[in-house]
Structure 1
Amino acid sequence: MPVDTGLSKKLSIAACKVRKGGTIIVDNSQTPFEVMINPSNFKRQLTIEYSKEQTLGQSAGTPKFAAICPEGLSMSNLVLDGTGVVGPVTRSVTDMVNALLAVIYQYNGEQHEPNYVRVLWGSFIFFGRVQNIGIDYTMFKPSGEPLRAKLSIGFTGWMSNQERALRANMSSPDLSHLVEIKEGDTLPLLCNRIYKDPSYYREIARINNLSNFRKLEPGSVLRFPPLV
């Protein structure tokens, strides 16, 4: 769950690109979507896959580990409000829904598929793609224009082939790391600690979409994935 840093942070969803080298980065050409009201809950789904093959004539066998599957994420009761009760209304509920769908659902002509996304809320970070969306319109103007919508969204996690292989060995030091920044931390220092090579700092800055890697904000969370 998010770490309380004393500041209110809104959950945001940003479109991402997967590079040829297998790393994922935020797509700065698209505007991230920020929720009006943070969700009251979200659910992580962690799944291990086992081989179900049995020897001929054997009634039952010990399940054999096959793979660790990409993580799943679901959230419900994401409220988009156009009544003005929550705060100043700058755009209609329909426009808000369309802005969200442009990030997570609509077909991307460059990638020939829907966007990969980054879900970020406090110290929680998740990379993946949308699997299902439910939109429940609950209030309307006399004209029929919706004034409020409640959304439920399910995501399936992104995992590179390299990371998937590494996750088969849970003791591997090369698994992705989520690191909360502390006072005095620098990217070269963290890269040296995790990769034993401080020169990776530029790559980590790109992966985490850092515009100023020399000034890390204490309390923020950075992702350090396996690097070839």
Structure 2
Amino acid sequence: MAREQLRKATITVLAGANKGKVISVLFNPSEYSFERTNAYKSVPIPGLGTPLLQFVNGELDTLAMELFLDDYTDPEGPTSRERTEREPVKARLKDISGLLEIDRDLHAPPPVRFNWGPMEFTAVIDKLGRKVTKFHPDGTPTRATLSVSFKEYRTLRRQLEEPRRESADKSKRRVVVGSDSLWLMASREYDDPGEWVRIAEANDLDDPREILPCDWLLIPPMENPGGTGDAL
């Protein structure tokens, strides 16, 4: 049975002056972790022993792992049968560290795509730690371990095309599209077309048929939505 080749992870720069540049690493971690958090606000209520928690927004995914670079094992190891590295550890350390610098075209650090086998994660590098453990006689790094934290990156276009569900207990603004009516909007927002009156009142509409395509409407919150925002 043939020995399975060790796949390399790659970091591809998606925008900016170095768009399209691919940086590869040896990658055989014992683990990697995803983390996501939500933000809540404590609302003090007179007379209660503890404040109420109110949901504010969701945070982005964070991917954390250790990446390995090595001049000695890489050219002669199993990965060389797939692709031999053209750049030594010193150059790749510089390239990866440079991804935290402000790009001259973007005026911000560039977004990247991390790939390893079936995993694909579009992100910016949020945090980077470097530990060099082997050197050439002149002090040039030849082996290094990188502790990397990637923060999920979502463009405005992607967020508009793939909107996440929003809570019904917050006011929102919606644009009228095509043959939209208050009945259809109420059905989408509240699962009840009869709630069109709530939208009409919030927008001072005497005639619910007055709306036109491209008009913006305020969608008021429900009075007692489910979840931590329930009224007492």
* 1:20-31 superposed matches below 5 A: 29-31=19-21
1:32 aligns with 2:27: no
Distance between the aligned counterparts of 2:155 and 2:45, measured in 1? 32
Describe how 1:58-73 pairs up with structure 2 within 5 A.
Answer: 58-73=48-63
Equivalent residue number for residue 92 of structure 1 = 88
C-alpha displacement of 1:130: 1.0
Deviation beyond 6 Å, 4+ runs, structure 1: none
Cα deviation for residue 89 of structure 1 reads: 5.7
Please give the per-residue CA displacement for 1:30-71, whole angstroms capped at 9, x wherever unaligned. Answer: 312122234332110111122212224432134222211111
- Structure 2 spans left out of the alignment, 5+ residues: 168-232
TM-score (norm 1): 0.58
Q: Which sits farther off after the overlay, 154-163 or 108-117?
A: 154-163
2:45 corresponds to: 55
Q: 1:138 to 1:8 in 2, by over 3 A?
A: closer
Structure 2-normalised TM-score? 0.57
Describe the shift of the 1:121–1:91 C-alpha distance in structure 2 as closer, same or farther (beyond 3 A): closer
Asked if 1:16 corresponds to 2:6, the answer is no
Q: What's the C-alpha RMSD, in Å, of the aligned pairs? A: 2.9
- Give the match for residue 145 of structure 2: 150
Check conservation: 1:130, 1:155, Cα contact below 8 A.
Answer: yes
Cα 1:47/1:117, change in 2 over 3 Å: same
More RCO (CA 8 Å, sep 6+): 1
- The one-character-per-residue Cα deviations of 1:170-199 (angstroms, maximum 9, x if unpaired) are xxxxxxxxxxxxxxxxxxxxxxxxxxxxxx
Aligned counterparts of 1:44 and 1:97: Cα–Cα separation in 2: 24
For 2:9, give the aligned amino acid: L
- Offset of residue 8 of structure 1: 5.9
Alignment match of 1:83 (pick from 52, 59, 72): 72
- Pairwise CA distance, 1:151: 0.5
Counterpart in the other structure of 2:107: 112
Structure 1 stretches lacking a partner, 5+ long:
1-5, 18-25, 170-228
Rg: which structure is higher? 2
Which residue identity lines up with residue 115 of structure 2 in the other structure?
A: L
**Percent identity between the aligned chains?**
24
Is the 2:41–2:55 Cα contact (8 Å) retained in structure 1? yes
Amino acid in structure 2 at the alignment position of 1:95? A
Q: Is the 8 A contact 1:13 1:118 kept in 2?
A: yes
